[in-house]
Structure 1
Amino acid sequence: MTRHFNFCAGPAAMPTAVLDRARSEMKDYRGYGLSVMEMSHRSSEFIAIAEQAEQDLRELLAIPDNYRVLFTQGGATLQFSAVPYNLLGQGGTANFLDTGIWSRKAIDEARHLFGAAYVAASSEADSHRVLPRQEDIVLSEDAAYLHYTANETIGGLEFDYIPRAVHPDGREVPLVCDMSSSMLSGPLDVSRFGIIYAGAQKNIGPAGLVVVIVRDDLLHQACAGMPSLLGYQALAKGGSMVNTPATYSWYLAGLVFQWLKHDVGGLEAMDAINTRKAEMLYSAIDNSALYSNPIAPQNRSRMNVPFVLADERLDSLFLQEAEAAGLLNLKGHRSVGGMRASIYNAVSEQAVDALISFMADFEQRRG
């Protein structure tokens, strides 16, 4: 069987070593005579899997002791509801940085649920091609927290700094980050955040799991009458097992954490690999007469690289020939068109080299 190079934005490529290990344990997990997906989530065997996964994630990210790690469900999109429900119980308004489609969805959900959401800064005037700077961020007087999307998967732009959620009077509110497509791509100072959440299907594991990292003091600010399954306090108290969790996705995420620790060598090593991949691909685009990327260089995403062809009539042919060459899922999001290469952790440097070679050959023949 031949493994092709997968540039899908999500569900995304998984590390081959993780897939091989999962295959070896598929029918019989460590001599227990059954698959992980058949285990009770209350069994000692699965509890050990869950605890090891959390321990490995804590080590990778150096998560401080005053943060809870939750493994929950519903995709990152459900956190667009869960975050305001958990943080607006004492009043105030959710504040946002509007930087693209995913941040806009979070804004719309807060307005739908609570009737208001305040945009503290926006990149809309720049067509979401350059991100707001710290000095552009102005919170509302009643700001309860500031939410931003670290990496806009569709638009392909990424914050090059961690914003500070500070009023002009010096008062600071919790910083909340949707880190779905950049979490684990490199080291991170978790202590800068009140809440971090990430859908698994980029760098963590398969779809069906969400990781939420929440500071202890924020577990007690939930709205009365909110859906109980969305409550961080209940999830923390119940070990993320208020209901039956996504057990197999949780197990696979744990294997990814071990791969990052032992095979890759940790997040600093992963950071260096991701930087090399992105620099190679952007250099190929910038030195081409056929391909271009519209994002301001300081905000170019390392995880999602969109590009357009100078002649869009070549788009279909490019995709057809790329797939024939074993380069899969390069079509851009339907809302923006063009191409997009998602080069998450599990996408190797060999895969990026193959894409660059194909792009150069295609340009020579068709450009």
Structure 2
Amino acid sequence: MVGSISVPLKRNLALLLIAVCGLRAQAELFQLPTTNRALFEKGGEERFFVGTVGKTWTSGTFGCVRSDGFQMHEGLDIRCLQRDRRGEPIDPVNATADGTVAYINKKPSLSNYGNYIILKHQVEGMEIYSVYAHLHSIREGLNVGQAVKAGENIAVMGRTANTHEGISKDRAHVHYELNVLLNDRYAEWHRKNLPGQRNDHGNWNGQNLNGIDPRLILLAQQQEGKNFSLVHFIQSETELCRVFVRNANFQYLKRYAPLITHNPTAEKLGIVGYEMALDYNGVPINLIPRSTSEIKGNGRFLLLSVNEAEQKKNPARHLVVKKGSRWELTTHGENLLDLLTF
């Protein structure tokens, strides 16, 4: 009959649709955590980001964007779209990708993040952790270890925090992060190295999570489609410095194995440590095994090179310092490497 579609053709069309949807799902590794999509609209930044008091929207983005570039902000502050009669935010907050619940904080007095959730995701052989902070409420029945799907509701946006100034209604937002985890022995490292400091969140202390810019990831993902690779994205980030750590067996190597560059020489002669490229937030973006013959010097941590232009542009983490004509690791830089290899 004219206009009808045969059963085989219907089946083929269905298979094609499944294939297309599969490609789309594969390309979109991460989804925005709310319905605010102004990030993808030309000139939409002011409708997407919430800046700090008296500052522009840029102070709500990721990076060295606060205190004249010397304070790090490790996420995106996403503006609310929906409010109740009292003007309070009521936007649903959703999982950015398939994953499991790693941690929930329901005691806002214990963190400047207020109520927050951490989800664990497996992406291209790596563990990526998303954070959703300043929540009004967390979905009833949501528990640590529970599986969630991309786009699944996990909370309601709010403005909880333990800071003195708080978060005003007009600045209501969800703080959203994508992170790598440095070491699942953080709590033990904290007790040893920071004995006078409280640690209310165990291994989920913020010092153990180093952020990657979600804005750049989401924009690159949209632009590149199915060709987007998070591994390639991380390895292509601008290098702040290059260091050598004299340790051949630490957790980051297994958790982020796709970031390791093959080195036949070291694998043949014996690996004594790893040369690592760090971005300005201290994320190890590339790791190369090294043998004794490839390394000059005997220190536990060796600073091999510094990208001076990147340090001037993004100084907030204070990982390296120039003394005269010589660059050195700061205490912050050494603590980062110590935690990483603990």
Superposition TM-score tier, normalisation by shorter sequence: under 0.3
TM-score by length of 2: 0.26
Higher strand share: 2
Structure ranking higher on relative contact order (CA contacts 8 Å, 6+ apart):
1
Which of the two has greater helix per residue? 1
